[in-house]
Amino acid sequence: MSFEEQFDSNNNNTDHYDDDNIDSFDMLHDNNNSNEGEEYKINLDENNDKKEEEEKVVIEDDDDEKVEKPEEEEKLDLQKDGNNITFDNIEKKDIDEKVYEDERKVMNDKIDNTSQNSLEDLVKNTGIDAKKIISNSETKTIFDFKSFLNFLRDPKAEPILKYTKSFINQVLKSDRWYTFKEQKRLIEDFEDFIYKKFAIYEPFKLMNADDLNNCKDSMEKLLTNKLYAKIFSPIYYNLSLKMSKMNPNEKIDFPKDHLKLVKNDQQLWSNINKFGSIITLENLEIYNLTEVNADMLNKFFKVFNRELWKMGKFRSPRDKLVCLLNSCKIIFSYLKKIGNKGLTADDFMPLLIYSVLKLPALDSENYFLLSTASYIDNFRQANFLKGEESYYLMSFQGALQFILELNEENMFEKFKVKDTEFFTNKLNERKGLITATQLEKEEQIKQKKFEKKLHEKEEEELKQNQNSAAGSWPLSSWFGGSSPTNQEDSILSKFSNLITTTTTTTEDENKDTNQVISKEKNTEPSNIEIQQQIENQIKQSELEDLSSLKDMFPQLDEAIVKDIYILKNRNITQTIESILEML
């Protein structure tokens, strides 16, 4: 993955980082209603002879729809399938994609003939995805998820689409609690399987190696996005908590490897909370820093934090990894800035650890660092995770491991402390403060719980009314075309009900909830409004970036900083780098 590409994920400023494109997958409809030979059967047994019956659940997608229907009705059928998407929405999306394609062509033509300076105007005039297009046009290997979805739309690729949907549905529907290892194997097996199928069906069959790689990369993104709630440990864990609340009699044996990640993340944050505020640069033997530098360091932290925060928002391992690499790159930019010549692991590692320790502890639920690192490590396909990517992922894991293992017995081995008594006093002070805040928090939680219950009740009533009126099935887009009765039994319908009715703990899930609710209410804004929104978001992020840059380089003229920023296609990391080179 090249760094020019980071743009693509860096500048996705919508609230749902991945959802925009993923949604259009749900709208891909298999035209051929016969399913024969195109289910994928998940199987975890080493020995194929010993397949257990329960694991061979075959999803019969379109059972109710064996009758051929005229084409005009196709789109409407989606609604009956349980896809909670209205006709209007589909059409709008289709139009959006056409607009996108056209813009893309226009943009690419224009870019060849225009100077960098006028790129700004192009961005202003086009809005949707314009930034992405500009940045992509500079790179040779482009990660292009949309074109992958377009390939899937090809009638000849229908078997691929069916296998994929079948796989996703089976994993989502299965009420088994998979271990991390099992999930890794399920997905890898499916990837192996589907890549073999790529060689059989057009358009994949005829692709060159680059395009095929893009499709493999995109397939990973698609699968991990769809299965996110089941494979990302913290969300999976929350799901198990909710399930056991709903059915107190049912014992859930939550997989130990997932649980370990969740618990370790909690421990990590407890350590960051405890040690983060009292650790100084000297404790990690980071020298070369005058006070001016330390001040600048704080400003770099902002950018570093933001990348890691983004890492929590994206769903696919690929996108998360881009954010992680960006954050590492920021550390090197800083080292370069303070005149460190070597820029080696001896310099990098301490500053990485220091930076993670300085993450805002109050915001811990936005960063599931250990879970995320392990998620990337396991679900990023091996041939995409090598060399540099692999090295920095490992260094990040190393830094987290270092912090995770911190305790009061080993702290003087791990940190260089001259005045141990002073350090211990400070630590005790900090611990006292944490306990006090915790008590206060617990009180607040009690209060909130009460309010939540009231709120839930209202929502439940509202939802029931809606359901009986419209007969709609939230989140059933997961299921392609399964019938509502099947869904009732499935774990996922329970899940979807859950997230439509409860206010969830993570922001991510909240967004899912909002999304579902907004779909139910059918209050999607018009095409123009969406475009405006996106433009606003782009402007908003631009303002944020510029203000960080201004903080970071107060000595520079704002106009100059802005010019460089625009010249670097609004990529903040690249901007910082080129300013540093100038200084």
Partner 1 sequence: MIQFKLVLLGDSSVGKSSIVTRFVKDQFDLNKESTIGAAFLSQTIKLLDGDSGEEVAIKFEIWDTAGQERYKSLAPMYYRNSNAAIVVYDLCDANSLSKAVKWVNELKEKLGEDNDCIISLIGNKLDITLEDESKRAISFKEGEDFAIENGLYFHEVSAKDNIGIKDIFQEIGESLYKQYKEKRVKNSTANGPGTSGTSNVELNRPSTNDSTSCCS
| Residues in contact with 431: Cβ distance below 8 Å, sequence separation at least 6, in sequence order | 274
Q: Give the residue, chosen from 142, 385, 475, 499, that forms a contact with partner 1 under the rule CB under 8 A.
A: 385
Q: Which is nearer to partner 1, 31 or 420 (CB)?
A: 420
Q: Does 209 bind partner 1 (CB under 8 A)?
A: no
Q: Give the residue, chosen from 329, 494, 519, 568, that forms a contact with partner 1 under the rule CB under 8 A.
A: 329
Residue 152's identity, in one-letter code, is L
- For partner 1, the binding residues in 233-272 under the rule CB under 8 A are 257, 260-261, 264
User: What kind and span of H or E run contains 527?
Assistant: helix 527-552
∠ CA 188-371-172, nearest 5°, is 50
Name the minimum Å distance from CB 122 to partner 1: 26
Task: Write the DSSP symbol of residue 358.
Answer: T
Q: Which is nearer to partner 1, 314 or 415 (CB)?
A: 415
Name the minimum Å distance from CB 21 to partner 1: 25
CA distance 173 to 490: 6
CA distance 197 to 210: 17
Q: Which is nearer to partner 1, 106 or 349 (CB)?
A: 349
- Alpha helix ranges (H) inside 315-419: 317-337, 345-357, 369-379, 387-404, 411-414
How many other CB atoms are there within 10 angstroms of residue 344's CB atom? 10
CA gyration radius for the chain?
25
∠ CA 383-385-22, nearest 5°, is 90
Q: How big is the site for partner 1, counted in residues (CB under 8 A)?
A: 52
Do residues 60 and 93 lie in contact, with contact meaning Cβ atoms separated by under 8 Å?
no
Name the minimum Å distance from CB 227 to partner 1: 16
Binding track, positions 271-290, relative to partner 1; x by CB under 8 A: --------------x-----
Nearest CA-CA partner of 522 in 61, 89, 78, 34: 89
Q: Give the residue, chosen from 382, 454, 469, 528, that forms a contact with partner 1 under the rule CB under 8 A.
A: 382
Nearest CA-CA partner of 354 in 287, 290, 433, 291: 287
CA dihedral 437, 443, 444, 449 (to 10 degrees): 140
Name the minimum Å distance from CB 168 to partner 1: 21
Q: Which residue bears the tokens 């899912």?
A: 512
User: What kind and span of H or E run contains 109?
Assistant: helix 87-113
Binding track, positions 306-325, relative to partner 1; x by CB under 8 A: -------------------x
On the 0-12 / 13-18 / 19+ scale of CB atoms within 10 A, 18 is buried
Name the minimum Å distance from CB 229 to partner 1: 19
Q: Which is nearer to partner 1, 343 or 543 (CB)?
A: 343
Do residues 369 and 265 lie in contact, with contact meaning Cβ atoms separated by under 8 Å?
yes
Name the minimum Å distance from CB 394 to partner 1: 6
Q: How far is CA 329 from the centre of its chain?
A: 20
Name the minimum Å distance from CB 180 to partner 1: 5
* Listed ranges 129-137, 340-348, 431-439, 525-533: which one lies at the site for partner 1 (CB under 8 A): 340-348
Q: Does 527 bind partner 1 (CB under 8 A)?
A: no
- For partner 1, the binding residues in 122-181 under the rule CB under 8 A are 180-181
User: What kind and span of H or E run contains 279?
Assistant: none
* Listed ranges 200-208, 370-378, 437-445, 520-528: which one lies at the site for partner 1 (CB under 8 A): 370-378
- For partner 1, the binding residues in 412-471 under the rule CB under 8 A are 413-416
Q: Give the residue, chosen from 401, 522, 541, 578, that forms a contact with partner 1 under the rule CB under 8 A.
A: 401
Q: Does 388 bind partner 1 (CB under 8 A)?
A: yes
* Listed ranges 19-27, 202-210, 387-395, 468-476: which one lies at the site for partner 1 (CB under 8 A): 387-395
Q: Does 339 bind partner 1 (CB under 8 A)?
A: no
Q: Does 331 bind partner 1 (CB under 8 A)?
A: yes
Concatenated DSSP letters of 398-454: HHHHHHHT--TTTHHHHS--S-HHHHHHHHHHHHHHHHHHHHHHHHHHHHHHHHHHH
Q: Which is nearer to partner 1, 339 or 342 (CB)?
A: 342
Binding positions for partner 1, rule: CB under 8 A: 2-3, 180-181, 184, 257, 260-261, 264, 285, 325, 328-329, 331-332, 335, 342-346, 348-350, 370, 373-374, 377-378, 382-383, 385-388, 390-395, 397-398, 400-402, 404-405, 413-416
